[in-house]
Amino acid sequence: MVRLFVAIDITNKKVVDTAIRVQDLIRRNNIKATFSNPNQLHITLKFLGEIQDTLIDEIKNALSKIHFNRFSIRFEGIDAFPSILRPRVIFIDVEHSRELETLYKAVDKSLSFLRIREDKRFHPHVTIARIKSIFGWNKSLVDELKSIDINSTEEIIEFKLKQSVLKHSGPEYIDLMSIPLG
């Protein structure tokens, strides 16, 4: 069994720098959290979970049939699930776009044979921290996070099938396949 997901890698310097800045802010406030590796930032299009190794080629074949043009995405600001006042996941929000939504649906449809049901609607974002305890979380920290303006874009030229290897130091992501956009 392998843990798989489909994602778009994010390499925009302003986004990476913002992720590091937010992580430092959380650390300085002594908030108990785990942090995404700034060199592995991504937008998850579809989390597949634990999949039998024998299905990898079928998944690759299905994804290779997706033909899609390049497009740009815009990064907005800092937000959280379920809310910025009681966060569990801190993320950089991505502006909803027709292209990103259509790519998500194409990936979902191509992998429908796996019968993976989505629990929630697609909300494109870049996870930067997972909060373990909100002890110490306060209004001034929320205000500082909300004041961070990213206002940056990135051209999306590919998406990837990735393997997530869970380690004590945090997940390691291995690219299994890259699907270029036209």
* Sequence-distant (≥ 6) Cβ neighbours of residue 100 within 8 angstroms: 43, 71, 73, 94, 124, 156
From the candidates 67, 96, 125, 168, give the one annotated as an active-site residue: 125
Residue 9 CA to residue 160 CA, distance in Å, equals: 8
* Sequence-distant (≥ 6) Cβ neighbours of residue 62 within 8 angstroms: 110, 111, 113
Task: Verify whether residue 96 is a known catalytic residue.
Answer: no
Structure tokens that stand for 18 in this block: 């913002």
User: Which burial class, exposed, middle or buried, applies to 115 when counting CB atoms under 10 A from its CB (0-12, 13-18, 19+)?
Assistant: exposed
Structure tokens that stand for 158 in this block: 């590919």
Task: Verify whether residue 42 is a known catalytic residue.
Answer: yes
β-strand 2-9 against 158-165: which pairing, if any?
Answer: antiparallel
Strand partners, 37: none
* Catalytic positions, written as ranges: 42, 125
